[in-house]
Amino acid sequence: MAEISALMGALRGQQIPFVEKEPLSRHTTFRIGGPAAVLCLPETPAQLLRALELCREYGVRTYLLGNGSNTLFADEGFDGAVICTVDLRAPITVTGTTVSAPAGASLAAVCREAQKAGLTGLEFAYGIPGTVGGAVYMNAGAYGGELKQVLSRVTFLDKDLRLETLPVEELALGYRTSRFETDGGSILEAVFQLQPGAPQAIEARMQELMARRREKQPLELPSAGSTFKRPEGAFAGQLIEQCGLRGFAVGGAAVSTKHCGFVVNTGGATCADVIRLTDEIQKIVEEKTGYRLSREIRVVR
């Protein structure tokens, strides 16, 4: 495509790191996905802004990616620019009881910095395999906690690429959703408001939750975490197990035998395998229980 070639020339001229025809399976925890026409790896907010401006200038569609822990790319790949934020790694800073972190920082790293500073409130997020940006985007949560409980404000580029900072009350954070899903925007930084705590107690809680993850979840196989959203009044994993679907497989994609709420890549799974499997799960669960499951993973075609 002429537009892609022109974009790559402009990125090269601006010294913004990128890779051509990069397999997206290397950048998602599912280990599934064809090549991106361009994988852009900005290292500063200025480079991110410029990359987005260039994509608009040359008419190239974009997809913002963090750690790829909740994303399923098509087998054909993405015929545009995937802009990955993992290299946006400004320092994580602690000021009093607040922690500021760049979009590309891992949640685990933020939790560790909070623990070292004797700040409690983020323990639930330790072990969530995502970046700060991705976690804000979907209001990530686990073990009874979610980001909106500890988030103070977020700085981002809005859909018109203007810099904006909003308090948590204006981010429309709900169950695995936020204003960024509907309004767009590129998250740059998040500030968390925590509480003083004992470092040893915080560490103990983090390790307790990580042990529970290892015991209950199929961390030994590639997946995108919980495959379905929790339906009101029930749990997706329990419904799937109730329907006798433990181990149910299509191609290389299967319902985990360890936790039925996870679809795992048992080896060589394709996006098509996962889609067919999840469609079949939705159909069977609805027929047998009346519950309609919704996919939590983002499918990008």
Residue from 153, 226, 256, 295 carrying the catalytic annotation: 226
- Residue among 140, 53, 131 at smallest CA distance from 89: 131
**Is 106 considered catalytic here?**
no
Distance, in Å, from the CA atom of 202 to the CA atom of 115, rounded to the nearest integer, reads: 6
**Is 296 considered catalytic here?**
yes
Residue from 31, 50, 153, 176 carrying the catalytic annotation: 176
Distance, in Å, from the CA atom of 100 to the CA atom of 94, rounded to the nearest integer, reads: 6
Residue positions annotated with a catalytic role: 176, 226, 296
